Amino acid sequence: PPAEPLTERRQAGGVRTIVLNNPRRRNALSLPMLQSLRRDLLHDVKSRELRVIVIAAKGPVFCSGHDLKELSSEDDVKHHSQVFELCAEVMTLIQKLPVPVIAKVNGMATAAGCQLVASCDIAVASEKSQFATPGVNIGLFCSTPAVALGRSLPRKVALEMLFTGEPLSAHEALMHGLVSKVVPEDKLEEETMKISQKICESSKSVLALGKATFYRQITQDLDTAYKITTQVMVDNLTLRDGQEGIEAFVQKRKPVWSH
């Protein structure tokens, strides 16, 4: 029989759900898995109908990180570079997309899987979820996951994870800012859809401008950040939906977005 696709993509009501679909390999981010994920993220991404992307997974492990069989000495340096370069491309792509991306985590997320969660704009986790960067235990320090972790967590928390490989519980991850919400497993779908549907009520063009600006300013010093965002507020007012929203507020009616 033909092999099942490594990722499944479905879309309804403005919400695209991408499901990592290789539970037998713990949804490892192999080169083919990364290629499939990238395709699903980029598919018709400028469509007016696409408003939010949810990344989920089948099985008890959300994502175990890189497929270590691909990183054995039998493969050459060129192949290893290809794996890590594509992974970095996918992680940065998530933050460059014009729509919010939500990680829906139900289970373990380790190494590059933890990096994937940290790279998403929002992360909702079930209470049984755990997060770890255990590469140090097998002699492969999680240096690329550290990029996303170091930007999501306090430095000392990130470094403890990286130095020890010990996992954070879902509630520890929430406390330190790696995830946005923690809910019981049976409420995970409901809570993720609640956030998604709230996002769908807003203008796609306004959200796209806001998301791009957030990531642009966050790495700047305070004065530069305010200079960037001051201009963007002015630019936002030139958008059709920027004016529509203000007019609707003044007229006490619901806005009709053009996106």
**Are residues 137 and 149 in contact, defined by beta-carbon separation less than 8 angstroms?**
no
Residues 137-152, mean pLDDT to the nearest whole number: 96
Please give the span between the terminal C-alpha atoms of the chain, in angstroms, as a whole number: 43
Which tokens go with 206?
């306004």
Task: Say what the pLDDT of residue 223 is.
Answer: 98
Residues 121-142, mean pLDDT to the nearest whole number: 97
Q: Using CA atoms, how far apart are residues 86 and 35, in angstroms rounded to an integer?
A: 8
Spatial strand order in the sheet of 108-110: 61-63, 108-110, 130-132, 168-169
Q: Which residues does 225 contact at the CB level (< 8 Å), separation at least 6?
A: 217, 218
102, β-bridge pairs? 54, 122
Q: Which residues does 116 contact at the CB level (< 8 Å), separation at least 6?
A: 29, 55, 63, 91, 103, 109
What's the pLDDT band for 2 if we cut at 50, 70, 90?
A: low
Residues 218-246, mean pLDDT to the nearest whole number: 97
What's the pLDDT band for 1 if we cut at 50, 70, 90?
A: low
| pLDDT surpasses 80 at 251 | yes
| pLDDT surpasses 80 at 142 | yes
Write the DSSP assignment of 10-31 as a string of letters: EEETTEEEEEE--GGGTT---H
Task: Say what the pLDDT of residue 188 is.
Answer: 98
Q: Using CA atoms, how far apart are residues 55 and 28, in angstroms rounded to an integer?
A: 14
What tens digit of pLDDT does each residue of 150-192 get? Answer: 999 999 999 999 999 999 999 999 999 999 999 999 999 999 9
What tens digit of pLDDT does each residue of 18-55 get? Answer: 999 999 999 999 999 999 999 999 999 999 999 999 99
CB atoms within 10 A of CB 156: 9
Task: Say what the pLDDT of residue 76 is.
Answer: 84
Task: Say what the pLDDT of residue 75 is.
Answer: 65
pTM beyond 0.75: the answer is: yes
**Are residues 62 and 28 in contact, defined by beta-carbon separation less than 8 angstroms?**
no
Task: Say what the pLDDT of residue 101 is.
Answer: 98
| pLDDT surpasses 90 at 79 | no
What's the pLDDT band for 69 if we cut at 50, 70, 90?
A: confident
Of 3, 119, 118, 113, give the one whose Cα is nearest residue 61. Answer: 113
What's the pLDDT band for 138 if we cut at 50, 70, 90?
A: very high
What's the pLDDT band for 67 if we cut at 50, 70, 90?
A: very high
The phi, psi pair for 194, rounded to 5°, reads -60, -45
Return mean pLDDT, the chain: 96
Q: Using CA atoms, how far apart are residues 7 and 32, in angstroms rounded to an integer?
A: 10
What tens digit of pLDDT does each residue of 80-94 get? Answer: 999 999 999 999 999
Domain annotation for the chain: domains and CATH numbers: 7-200 (3.90.226.10), 202-251 (1.10.12.10)
| pLDDT surpasses 90 at 70 | no
